[in-house]
Amino acid sequence: MPTTSNPVEAWESLFRAQVSIMRELRGEFASNSMSMNEYDVLFNVVREPQGRIRLRDLNRNVLITQSSVSRLVDRLVQRGFLVKIDDRLDLRSTLIEITPDGRAEFTRAARTHMRNIQERMTSALDADELRTLQYLCTKLRLGQAGGRGRDADS
């Protein structure tokens, strides 16, 4: 176990672990019916209470550029996984809603993806370590490390 308390080294370790695992998980999507970015878009729509989200809110929640999100949404609409709806409450906005086919395809992909994540995580960490990792990552995300500012999007 490392004995250093260097924040840069800790960050590098966290970042490299995330990149390594994401590469493996992304590779497993190659044999899937959708890309990891498509899955991410569907994930963000599915987790909304009514299965719909404003396009601008979706842009804030995914890890790709706004123009990429728009093209990705258009592809998912063409495949019948999403529909675009005019937002009656905000005429400048577009709502993205998951279709029954989109929900079914997402659910199928999610089962495989969650199993792959579980295998990666439990092969390296025990239950206590998983709880600690979740606690530490949440603490970092919320900006509570050392009492510094909070993340407004949380």
Task: Give the rounded percent of residues in the chain with a pLDDT score beyond 70.
Answer: 88
* Confidence at residue 92, expressed as pLDDT on a 0 to 100 scale: 73
Q: Which phi-psi region, left, alpha or beta, contains residue 128 (left: φ > 0; alpha: ψ -120 to 50)? A: alpha
CB distance 16 to 9 below 8 Å: no
Measured distance CA(63)–CA(68) in Å, rounded: 10
pLDDT band for 31, please (50, 70, 90 cuts): low
Which of 60 and 90 is assigned the larger pLDDT? 60
**Can you name the residues that pair with 86 across neighbouring β-strands?**
94
Average pLDDT over residues 13-17: 93
Best CA proximity match to 66, nearest among 55, 75, 78, 76: 55
pLDDT band for 26, please (50, 70, 90 cuts): confident
What phi and psi values does residue 31 have, to the nearest 5 degrees?
Answer: -95, 0
Domains located in the chain, CATH noted: 22-143 (1.10.10.10)
pLDDT band for 68, please (50, 70, 90 cuts): confident
89-147, pLDDT tens digit by residue? 776 778 999 999 999 999 999 998 999 999 999 999 999 999 999 999 999 989 865 54
* Confidence at residue 150, expressed as pLDDT on a 0 to 100 scale: 41
